[in-house]
Chain A
Amino acid sequence: MSASRLGRRLAALARKLALPAAVLVLWSFATDFWKIHPIILPALDQVLEDFGTYGLNGVLAAQSAASLRRCLLGFVLGSAGGIGLGIVLGWYNTLHDYFDVAINFLRSIPKTALAPLFLVWFGFGDLPKVLLVGLASFFYTLITTIEGVSNVDALLIKSARSMGASSRQILTTVVLPAAMPAMHAGLRLAAATSLVVLVTAEMLSGNDGLGYLLEQARGGLNMSTMYMALIVLGVIGFSLDWCVRYCGRKLMPWRKGKTIST
């Protein structure tokens, strides 16, 4: 990497970090000078202290791991199912007709609204939480995959057919790559929603996870712990989205690039 390129990247990084840094400074001012009540906004060093305490005694790691495990398991299984079924239904239009109403009805029910039912059905363990996250991921990826697969540019299919591609080859070599951007968009929505659904379920029942930690903190009006849990959730959500975007860039290198002129 040349020096000027390094310089440009550092400058870009500085621009990206400027706002978060400003927020932290403002936070310190708000608690130290303007005396905002700690129930509304705990002092920044109080939150950092909690990070220290919970970090050292292993609670933070354990609760984060519990949440992350459920989130990833649900997200991966649900998305795999959604993309798989989406490809089948997008490809076979008649089959799609059979499922159309059912899918649109079921996806319209907020997944968080299903939490009470699932907790009754499946108890307090991982199962109802993973299922809820999975269901949310499933529908987000299903809808976008169906759209992507059934709306491939007809010219590309014609091109492949004129070169003698069979239906099966058209599916694997044209339709699936052409639908990848749509699937990827579904995955990003699914990743973001996974965390929402999971935290809600954890707040409602169970005895571990970041949602549980939040609910506990609320019970004890332990505001600095609450802020700590929120920050960790933010970091997890951000990282999840970054991973999905990174995979997208690696799997679809053609999506980025400049046009050269002759």
Chain B
Amino acid sequence: MELEIAGLSKTFAMNGRGAVSVLDNISMDIAHGEFLSIIGPSGCGKTTFIEIIAGLQQQTAGTIRVDGRPRSESGCNCAIVFQQYGLFPWLTVRRNVEYGLKIRGMRRRRRREVSDTFLRMVHLDGYEDYYPHELSGGMQQRVALARSLANSPDILLLDEPFAALDAFTKESCQQELLGLWHGTGLTVVFVTHDVTEAVYLSDRIVVFAGKPGRVLDTIPVDIARPRSMDVRLSDPFRDIERRARAVLAQARTCGEAQAT
């Protein structure tokens, strides 16, 4: 689905200490099936931004339209994956994946088919009856991904999903995510603070500057897909990465200038 975000702002009231502006007048269009990453210094409102898209928070001003209709009326199905997984510790892997289906009243047999499919997709078949705490971080995040995808979302939002993983696990998760996304037409918004990750995964990178959060620059990533891990060593990749780092450095300084 296509997302049009216009003039999005968010202000938090701080108990008697005035108000803090977290997002200031953010506008962007995200195309159907696009993989968009958002990078920016910490505290620049990235998480708030995607939680507003997910419908978990309300914006103070501005509109989000999905395929031309306001978000609330569009019936858009957004799934979100969190850095800390957010799996239910009392449910087995299978029941975690089936959670969204169950609360929507899907029959048991159908649920089982869906969870089988998605667990196989993230290579966790055989782990159906484990509890989340029995799995490693990378496996838990793959369960969370399977759980999100099982709800057949139109838009997939990921909030620094691989930030807690070691470098090796992170790379395999990135490849897995690209494999799952490729050719599905799923619109993805991916928040990260890892520049290489953003370049490797995305069609386009939006750089946020902080305090209040705003769009500083947008960097297209014109690298052919499917991408192998080796693409990271190519010159075009490095050029884009260098440019993204420069903009990010600029974002940091202007965040500091605002803060002082």
Partner of B78, one of A156, A162, A174, A253: A162
Cα-based distance from A173 to B89 in the complex (angstroms): 12
Contact with A along B119-161 (1 / 0, CB 8 A): 0000000000011011110110000000100010000000000
By the criterion CB–CB under 8 Å, are B82 and A260 in contact?
Answer: no
Partner of B86, one of A158, A164, A165, A180: A158
Contact of A15 with B by CB under 8 A: no
Tell which of B21-29, B60-68, B99-107, B108-116 binds the partner.
B99-107
Contact residues of B: prevailing secondary structure: loop
> Hey, which chain A residues are within 8 Å of B56, CB to CB?
158, 161-162
> Hey, which chain A residues are within 8 Å of B151, CB to CB?
163-164
Partner of B88, one of A158, A166, A174, A261: A174
Contact of A258 with B by CB under 8 A: yes
Contact with A along B65-107 (1 / 0, CB 8 A): 0000000000000111010101111110000000110011000
Indicate whether A260 sits within 8 Å of B135 (C-beta atoms), given known contacts A162-B54, A162-B79.
Answer: yes
Contact of A99 with B by CB under 8 A: no
Contact of A178 with B by CB under 8 A: yes
Interface size (A, Cβ < 8 Å)? Answer: 26
Partner of B136, one of A164, A165, A177, A260: A260
> Hey, which chain B residues are within 8 Å of A260, CB to CB?
130, 134-136
By the criterion CB–CB under 8 Å, are B84 and A160 in contact?
Answer: no
Q: Which chain A residue has the least Cβ–Cβ distance from B139?
A: A262
Partner of A163, one of B89, B100, B138: B100
By the criterion CB–CB under 8 Å, are A259 and B133 in contact?
Answer: yes
Contact of A169 with B by CB under 8 A: yes
Q: Which chain A residue has the least Cβ–Cβ distance from B135?
A: A260
By the criterion CB–CB under 8 Å, are B82 and A158 in contact?
Answer: yes
By the criterion CB–CB under 8 Å, are A155 and B86 in contact?
Answer: yes
By the criterion CB–CB under 8 Å, are B133 and A165 in contact?
Answer: no
Minimum CB–CB distance from B217 to chain A (whole Å) comes to 29
Partner of A156, one of B80, B86, B100: B86
Minimum CB–CB distance from B171 to chain A (whole Å) comes to 14
What total count of A-B pairs have CB within 8 Å? Answer: 68
Partner of B90, one of A159, A180, A262: A180
Cα-based distance from A169 to B84 in the complex (angstroms): 22
Cα-based distance from A174 to B88 in the complex (angstroms): 8
By the criterion CB–CB under 8 Å, are B136 and A261 in contact?
Answer: yes
By the criterion CB–CB under 8 Å, are B90 and A164 in contact?
Answer: no
By the criterion CB–CB under 8 Å, are A173 and B79 in contact?
Answer: no
Indicate whether A173 sits within 8 Å of B134 (C-beta atoms), given known contacts A156-B88, A158-B56, A161-B56.
Answer: no
> Hey, which chain A residues are within 8 Å of B54, CB to CB?
162
Cα-based distance from A250 to B16 in the complex (angstroms): 48
> Hey, which chain A residues are within 8 Å of B86, CB to CB?
155-156, 158-159
Cα-based distance from A161 to B230 in the complex (angstroms): 39
Contact of A252 with B by CB under 8 A: yes
Partner of A252, one of B78, B88, B90, B134: B90
8 Å CB interface, A125-180 against B? 155-156, 158-166, 169, 173-174, 177-178, 180
Minimum CB–CB distance from A153 to chain B (whole Å) comes to 8
By the criterion CB–CB under 8 Å, are B99 and A160 in contact?
Answer: yes
Q: Which chain A residue has the least Cβ–Cβ distance from B86?
A: A159
Cα-based distance from A10 to B100 in the complex (angstroms): 45
Contact of A34 with B by CB under 8 A: no
Cα-based distance from A163 to B80 in the complex (angstroms): 8
Contact of A254 with B by CB under 8 A: yes
Q: Which chain B residue has the least Cβ–Cβ distance from A257?
A: B134
Minimum CB–CB distance from A160 to chain B (whole Å) comes to 7
By the criterion CB–CB under 8 Å, are B103 and A163 in contact?
Answer: yes
By the criterion CB–CB under 8 Å, are A178 and B90 in contact?
Answer: yes
Most buried by A among B79, B82, B89: B89
By the criterion CB–CB under 8 Å, are A164 and B88 in contact?
Answer: no
Q: Which chain A residue has the least Cβ–Cβ distance from B79?
A: A162
> Hey, which chain A residues are within 8 Å of B79, CB to CB?
162-163
Minimum CB–CB distance from B130 to chain A (whole Å) comes to 8
Indicate whether A155 sits within 8 Å of B104 (C-beta atoms), given known contacts A162-B56, A260-B134.
Answer: no
Partner of B99, one of A173, A257, A258, A261: A173
By the criterion CB–CB under 8 Å, are A163 and B136 in contact?
Answer: no
By the criterion CB–CB under 8 Å, are A155 and B100 in contact?
Answer: no
By the criterion CB–CB under 8 Å, are A254 and B131 in contact?
Answer: yes
A-B pairs, 3 with minimum CB distance: A163-B100, A159-B86, A254-B131
**What 6 new A-B contacts, CB under 8 Å, besides A162-B55, A254-B133, A262-B136?**
A158-B86, A162-B56, A163-B147, A254-B89, A257-B131, A262-B169
| Chain B residues proximal to chain A, CB less than 8 Å | 51, 54-56, 78-80, 82, 84, 86-91, 99-100, 103-104, 130-131, 133-136, 138-139, 147, 151, 169
A-B residue pairs in contact (CB < 8 Å), sample of 8 = A162-B78, A163-B100, A163-B151, A173-B103, A174-B88, A253-B131, A254-B90, A262-B138
